[in-house]
């Protein structure tokens, strides 16, 4: 596991408006061997407030990974991604698009906005769980993240 997350819980921000998909994602991370905390936000505006530690989120932890759906209320995932990657304080946080959209336009736009990866949600429960476990393994076991991902409050 990457040194920057060893010895502490991995903080994951899941931005997902489907309660079912949010629950499935949380369940999959629970089954992983990694110590993690999944914070679920169901709309784009609150996701940005969480990341910027505004309003009720002043004590929110800095996520090690963001899982972002594209089709969100109040501010869609494309706008959220653009704001994250335009903000010097947030741009290094890996953002994985996790969505049901298979649209080539959405895929191109997401990578154009600097998404770190794009995953179409599998419909099958077992495949969905496997995809989530692969995300966790890849980002927290295989990848080396910058040491700036420490928990220092900015």
pLDDT of residue 1: 44
DSSP collapsed to 3 states, 115-132: CCEEEECCCCHHHHHHHH
The answer to whether 127 touches 22, Cβ cutoff 8 Å, is no
What sign results for the dihedral spanned by CA atoms 109, 115, 121, 127?
A: positive
Q: Give the domain ranges of the chain.
A: 3-140
> Structurally, what CATH architecture does the domain formed by 3-140 represent?
3-Layer(aba) Sandwich (3.40)
CA angle 22, 8, 26 (to 5 degrees): 10
Q: Is 1 exposed, middle or buried, given 0-12, 13-18 or 19+ CB atoms closer than 10 A?
A: middle
Span 26-84, pLDDT tens digits: 988 888 777 889 999 999 999 999 999 999 999 999 999 999 999 999 999 999 999 99
Predicted TM-score (pTM) of this structure = 0.88
Span 87-136, pLDDT tens digits: 999 999 999 999 999 999 999 999 999 999 999 998 888 898 889 889 88
pLDDT of residue 154: 38
pLDDT of residue 124: 87
Structure tokens that stand for 62 in this block = 């800095």
Distance, in Å, from the CA atom of 154 to the CA atom of 149, rounded to the nearest integer, reads 11
Structure tokens that stand for 151 in this block = 């928990």
Q: Which residues contact residue 84 at a Cβ distance below 8 angstroms, ignoring those fewer than 6 apart?
A: 48, 51, 66, 90, 91, 93, 95
């Amino acid at each position: 596991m990457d040194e920057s997350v060893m010895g502490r819980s991995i903080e994951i921000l899941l931005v997902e408006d489907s309660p079912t998909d949010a629950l499935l994602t949380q369940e999959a991370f629970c089954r992983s061997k990694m110590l993690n905390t999944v914070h679920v936000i169901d709309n784009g505006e609150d996701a940005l407030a969480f990341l910027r530690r505004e309003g009720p989120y002043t004590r929110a932890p800095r996520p090690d990974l963001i899982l972002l759906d594209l089709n969100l209320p109040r501010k869609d995932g494309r706008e959220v991604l653009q704001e994250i990657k335009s903000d010097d304080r947030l741009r290094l946080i890996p953002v994985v698009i996790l969505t049901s959209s298979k649209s080539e336009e959405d895929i191109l736009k997401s990578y154009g906005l600097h998404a770190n990866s794009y995953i179409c949600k599998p419909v099958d429960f077992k495949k969905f769980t496997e995809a989530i476990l692969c995300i966790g393994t890849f980002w927290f076991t295989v990848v080396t993240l910058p040491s700036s991902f420490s928990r220092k409050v900015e």
